[in-house]
Amino acid sequence: MDINGKAVLVTGGASGLGEATAVHLASLGARVAVLDVQLERAEAVAQRIGGIAIHCDVTDPDSASAAIDAAREVHGVARLLVNCAGGGAVRRVVGRDGPMPLEDFVKVLNLNLVGGFNMTRLAAAQMIAAEPDEQGERGLVMFTTSVAAFEGQIGQAAYTASKGGLASLTIQLAREFAQFGVRVMAIAPGIFETPLLGNLSDEVARSLADGIPFPRRLGRSQEFAELVGHVAANRYLNGEMIRIDGAVRLTPR
Ligand X SMILES: NC(=O)c1ccc[n+]([C@@H]2O[C@H](COP(=O)([O-])OP(=O)(O)OC[C@H]3O[C@@H](n4cnc5c(N)ncnc54)[C@H](O)[C@@H]3O)[C@@H](O)[C@H]2O)c1
User: What residues are labeled active site?
Assistant: 159
- In the bound complex, what is the minimum distance in angstroms from residue 208's beta carbon to ligand X? 9
Tell me how far apart the alpha carbons of residues 212 and 245 are, in angstroms, rounded to a whole number: 8
In b/e form, how buried is each residue of 192-219, taking b as 16+ CB within 10 angstroms? Answer: bbbeeeeeeeeeebeebbeebeeeeebb
Nearest to 141 by CA among 117, 109, 165, 114: 117
Q: 194: part of which helix (H) or strand (E)? A: none
Q: Which residue lies nearer to ligand X by CB, 81 or 85?
A: 85
**How many alpha carbons lie under 13 Å from residue 218 in its C-beta half-sphere?**
18
Residue number with CB closer to ligand X (135 or 201)? 201
Binding-residue pattern over the window 136 to 165 for ligand X, x denoting contact by CB under 6 A? --------x-x-------------------
Return the residue of 44, 196, 242, 250 that touches ligand X, per CB under 6 A. Answer: 196
Quote the least distance from Cβ 180 to ligand X, whole Å. Answer: 25
For position 57 contacting ligand X by CB under 6 A, the verdict is: yes
Size of the site for ligand X (CB under 6 A): 29
Determine how β-strand 241-244 pairs with β-strand 52-55.
unpaired
38 binds ligand X (CB under 6 A): yes
Which of 85, 108, 182, 232 is close enough to bind ligand X by CB under 6 A? Answer: 85
Cα separation, 190 vs 149, whole angstroms: 11
Residue 118 interacting with ligand X (CB under 6 A) = no
CA distance 16 to 229: 16
Does position 119 bind ligand X by CB under 6 A? Answer: no
Which residues contact ligand X by CB under 6 A?
A: 11-12, 14-18, 36-38, 56-59, 84-87, 111, 115, 144, 146, 189, 191-192, 194-197
